[in-house]
Amino acid sequence: MNAHIDKKEGSPETVARDFVLACATLFRTLAIHSPTNSALKRPTESFLRSLSSLKSEYKVNGIELVATQQGIWIEGRRVQNHFSIVEAINDVVRILSKSLIRSVRFEPQVKPEAILQLFADLSAHARQNREPNSFDKKYAEINLGFFTPETTDFKVQKSNSLSQSDHALEIYFVFKRNVEDFFRGMSNNMLIPQEKLRSSMTALVEIAQVAPHHLVSLSLIRDDRADQNGVFAVASQAIATSLLSIVLAREMYFSFSEQVSMGLVGLMYNVGLLGKESAIIMKNEKLSPSEYRRVMDAQALGVYKLLRGQSVTRPALERLLAIFEYARGKTEQSVSLSVETRVLKICSQYVALTSQRPFRDAYTLSEAVKLLVSKISIANKADLDPLLYFVFVRSLGVIPLGSLCLLNDGRQAIVYRPSGKKPGMPVVKLRVSQEGESPVVLDLADHPGLQISKTLDPRREGVNVTGYLFD
């Protein structure tokens, strides 16, 4: 595999580049739609066209793609990391590695239906498995080659380390401390270096690539301690918004760097509410229209303040400023800004609903998900995007991770994480009867007769849910 594809226009390099992009586009589209959806028409045509072009350029009947941590090879020639396909290469390598697949060979008579089913199954497999796991499905005229246990040893070890809940919790508390220091400095008009903030954010995004459910669990931690400038409450909810923004950005195939930026955007969204403005959101009644406008103005002023004084996270902050301007109609419409605005909106609204307020208790996770449904519409003026809502619910779980549930056998359990065996099925931890007892873990995919009857309110039942989510 030492040969390189040359870089002339119209050469195998260009054709190979188009093929990698077509593969990544199919994975991304099938992460949202089923293979029979009309949205697959154009990506499928693009894939088949690029596959045909490869056969013509290389003068071969079948095409073999090899993916390793070092990159992608097509028919023994390495595809160079051109700026236009860096993220596409990363996506293809990541998804194939989750199935321990080293190579995919498309034989001459391969049918579009088989190709779509392969990509759909691999995309689902990557979402459902926290760690690289064997993939045993077969497809007509498609041959899959797999890594040996020896070659995957290091990768699996690193994945196992990142998937540990105690590691996630350790990173979280470092991040929380850095956020509180930064917010405290902002409330006192001090400039705090952001290197530590970005470093711990990057560590959390790394965890999200392997175990996104850990970030969902961490987003449930709230700190309602009272302090003069509202640092603890604002920082706690900002962190929750940030973590959910990362999870949703990953689910939508944002690049790694874009996930970090999206996390920073979610974190800084409410920085303007520090200080005297924090009293508004903590008042013992609903906000009036004028108070709501004050909150919006305070948020925007906080972003302006960050832009004037900071430089380390400037790309993320400029993006946040643009989001505010877009939301207020001050800029021309942009697809990327529109998506980021909607990601931020759904995450921040979910966090607000599940947070305690002086005038109301926090809604349960299931209640919050149902309340968000009322904000969905297919009309142009929809408050929340219905497709994004679907992706958001899929990220949390149909019954959100962290929910206290009543099983059909009368036992209570906490939704712990997604099952890696069957889509939509959770792994639960049974509620213990006494302190110090280890909860029993059940994968409902292994217990067909066991189902969740309904969700319960943890406060009324006296259950500390977050205590079950981290071993």
pLDDT computed for residue 366 by the predictor: 93
Judgement on whether residues 331 and 455 belong to the same structural domain of the protein: no
Note the pLDDT tens digit of each residue in 10-38: 577 889 999 999 999 999 999 888 888 99
Please give the Cα distance from 145 to 153 (Å, whole number): 17
Judgement on whether residues 236 and 344 belong to the same structural domain of the protein: yes
Q: Check residue 383 and report its DSSP letter.
A: S
pLDDT band at 73 (very low <50, low <70, confident <90, very high): very high
Examine residue 2 and state whether it is found in any structural domain, yes or no: no
Judgement on whether residues 431 and 391 belong to the same structural domain of the protein: no
Residues 6+ apart with CB under 8 A from 80: 4, 5, 7, 13
pLDDT computed for residue 332 by the predictor: 46
Judgement on whether residues 361 and 465 belong to the same structural domain of the protein: no
411 and 465 Cβ atoms separated by less than 8 Å: no
Judgement on whether residues 427 and 386 belong to the same structural domain of the protein: no
Give the residue from 396, 414, 429 where a domain finishes.
396
Examine residue 3 and state whether it is found in any structural domain, yes or no: no
Q: Which CATH number characterizes residue 275's domain?
A: 1.10.3210.10
pLDDT band at 380 (very low <50, low <70, confident <90, very high): very low
Give the residue from 133, 155, 177 where a domain finishes.
155
398: exposed, middle or buried (Cβ count in 10 Å: 0-12, 13-18, 19+): middle
Strand duo 77-78 + 71-74: pairing: antiparallel
Percent of the chain at pLDDT exceeding 70: 76
Q: What count of other Cβ atoms lies within 10 Å of the Cβ of residue 171?
A: 20
Residue 70 or 443, more confident: 443
- CA dist list (Å): 445 to 216, 217, 421, 426, 438: 21, 21, 6, 7, 21
Q: Look at residues 242, 229, 305 and name the one whose alpha carbon lies nearest to residue 269.
A: 242
pLDDT computed for residue 312 by the predictor: 40
Element (H, E) at 73: strand 71-74
Helix axes 112-128, 86-98, angle to 10 degrees: 80
Label residues 213-235 b or e (16+ Cβ within 10 Å = b): bbbbbbbbbbeeeeeebbbbbbb
pLDDT band at 331 (very low <50, low <70, confident <90, very high): very low
Note the pLDDT tens digit of each residue in 184-203: 877 776 766 677 788 889 98
pLDDT computed for residue 334 by the predictor: 46
Judgement on whether residues 411 and 436 belong to the same structural domain of the protein: yes
Please give the Cα distance from 286 to 341 (Å, whole number): 24
pLDDT band at 328 (very low <50, low <70, confident <90, very high): low
pLDDT band at 237 (very low <50, low <70, confident <90, very high): confident
Which region among 171-175, 258-262, 305-309, 405-409 has the lowest average model confidence (pLDDT)? 305-309
pLDDT computed for residue 279 by the predictor: 56
Total domain count for the chain?
3
**Highest mean predicted confidence (pLDDT) among 99-113, 168-182, 284-298:** 99-113
Decide if pLDDT at 434 tops 90: no
Examine residue 7 and state whether it is found in any structural domain, yes or no: no
118 and 139 Cβ atoms separated by less than 8 Å: yes
pLDDT computed for residue 83 by the predictor: 72
pLDDT computed for residue 339 by the predictor: 76
Q: Look at residues 30, 14, 18 and name the one whose alpha carbon lies nearest to residue 253.
A: 30
Examine residue 1 and state whether it is found in any structural domain, yes or no: no
Q: Which residue has the tokens 């009293």?
A: 279
15: exposed, middle or buried (Cβ count in 10 Å: 0-12, 13-18, 19+): buried
pLDDT computed for residue 224 by the predictor: 72
Which region among 223-227, 245-249, 463-467 has the lowest average model confidence (pLDDT)? 223-227
Average pLDDT over the chain reads: 80
Percent of the chain at pLDDT exceeding 90: 35
Judgement on whether residues 53 and 75 belong to the same structural domain of the protein: yes
Residue 320 φ then ψ, to 5° = -65, -45
The runs of H, that is alpha helices, within 9-108 are 12-30, 41-58, 86-98
pLDDT band at 386 (very low <50, low <70, confident <90, very high): confident
- Mean predicted confidence (pLDDT) in 452-460: 93
Give the residue from 155, 186, 205 where a domain finishes.
155
Range of 273's domain? 163-396
Please give the Cα distance from 262 to 248 (Å, whole number): 9
Residue type, 271: V
Examine residue 6 and state whether it is found in any structural domain, yes or no: no
Residue 332 or 122, more confident: 122
Examine residue 117 and state whether it is found in any structural domain, yes or no: yes
264 and 242 Cβ atoms separated by less than 8 Å: yes
pLDDT computed for residue 233 by the predictor: 77
Judgement on whether residues 456 and 417 belong to the same structural domain of the protein: yes
Q: What count of other Cβ atoms lies within 10 Å of the Cβ of residue 327?
A: 16
Please give the Cα distance from 125 to 15 (Å, whole number): 28
281 and 272 Cβ atoms separated by less than 8 Å: no
Judgement on whether residues 268 and 379 belong to the same structural domain of the protein: yes
- Mean predicted confidence (pLDDT) in 212-225: 89
Judgement on whether residues 309 and 433 belong to the same structural domain of the protein: no
pLDDT computed for residue 110 by the predictor: 94
pLDDT band at 154 (very low <50, low <70, confident <90, very high): very low
pLDDT band at 2 (very low <50, low <70, confident <90, very high): very low
**Under DSSP, is residue 377 helix (H, G, I), strand (E, B) or coil?**
coil
Judgement on whether residues 187 and 131 belong to the same structural domain of the protein: no
pLDDT computed for residue 6 by the predictor: 41
Examine residue 83 and state whether it is found in any structural domain, yes or no: yes
- Mean predicted confidence (pLDDT) in 397-419: 93
Residue 130 or 104, more confident: 104
pLDDT computed for residue 278 by the predictor: 54
Q: Check residue 420 and report its DSSP letter.
A: S
Judgement on whether residues 336 and 206 belong to the same structural domain of the protein: yes
Decide if pLDDT at 382 tops 90: no
Residue 132 or 123, more confident: 123
* Helices H / strands E in the chain, number of each: 18, 10
pLDDT band at 155 (very low <50, low <70, confident <90, very high): low
Please give the Cα distance from 455 to 466 (Å, whole number): 16
Examine residue 180 and state whether it is found in any structural domain, yes or no: yes
Q: Look at residues 32, 20, 27 and name the one whose alpha carbon lies nearest to residue 115.
A: 27
pLDDT computed for residue 292 by the predictor: 57
